[in-house]
Amino acid sequence: MLFATISSTSGLAILYLGVNELTAALGLSNLILYTSIYTPLKRISILNTWVGSIVGAIPPLMGWAACADSLAPGAWLMAALLYCWQFPHFNALSWNLRPDYSRAGYRMMAVTNPALCRRVALRHTIAILGLSLAAPLVDTTNWWFVLGSTPLNLYFIYLAYNFYKDSSSQTSRKLFRFSLLHLPLLMTLFLLSKKKWYMFEKDEPEINDEVSSNELKVLTDERTR
């Protein structure tokens, strides 16, 4: 508890003083969600998985806020992608751990409602495809992102469908292992296809043919100063 308190306090202080208030507020909200809601909820309700997915979706918001001190549509899109990705990832992982979760008294979908566990995993892989298709529409990526991510997402859906139809150890492991590749590949495509590459350059005065020699001299003197 002492280590956790020191780490949390110092981490939030660094975010607040060294980054900005928005990033620190998001970090604090995630800390509260994880320790005070998500973790205790594991023994109470299967809703813990949905809350845990929110926890996993906040870090992209923090990264965006740290750079821009605001949250644009692209930030929410990345958060939505991370939110959806966690369901096929975790549901596939938890499938082969059902005896352990049951003995520990954890209320997980794979234990209390196996059919829902499979459906939710499939639904969210489809949602990932939809969100990826929306990325150019919210002016966050170019259309190359759709071209590159669609085969990746379709294969993710295919593995989730196999898990849904035949929920075996083999299909769950395949889905889980591919999820470990899917996310970094999707985020790499997101980066390479982003719509705007900002260059931090000084604003230069616009000089056209109508600027007189005296005006040009004034502008030059101002730049020198």
Q: For residue 217, what pLDDT is reported?
A: 58
pLDDT of residue 102: 87
Averaged confidence pLDDT in the chain: 89
Q: Which of 40-49, 55-64, 127-136, 190-199 has the lowest mean pLDDT?
A: 190-199
Q: How much is the average pLDDT of 41-69?
A: 94
**CB atoms inside a 10 Å sphere around CB 225:** 5
Poorest-pLDDT segment among 9-23, 110-124, 205-219: 205-219
Q: Does the pLDDT value for residue 201 go beyond 50?
A: no
Residue 21 in tokens: 């208030």
Residue 85 predicted with pLDDT over 90: yes
pLDDT for residue 121: 96
Instruction: Quote the percentage of the chain above a pLDDT of 90.
Output: 78
Mark out the alpha helices in the chain (DSSP H runs): 2-18, 21-32, 39-41, 48-68, 73-95, 98-104, 109-112, 114-134, 144-165, 169-192, 213-224
Please state, in angstroms and rounded to a whole number, the distance separating the CA atoms of residues 129 and 81: 9
Question: Using CA atoms, how far apart are residues 57 and 86, in angstroms rounded to an integer?
Answer: 9
Cα–Cα distance for residue pair 63/83, rounded to 1 Å: 15
Predicted confidence band at 149 (pLDDT cuts at 50, 70, 90)? Answer: very high
Across the range 81-102, mean pLDDT stands at 94
pLDDT reported for residue 135: 94
Model pLDDT, residue 167: 87
Average pLDDT over residues 163-178: 94
d(CA 86, CA 76): 16
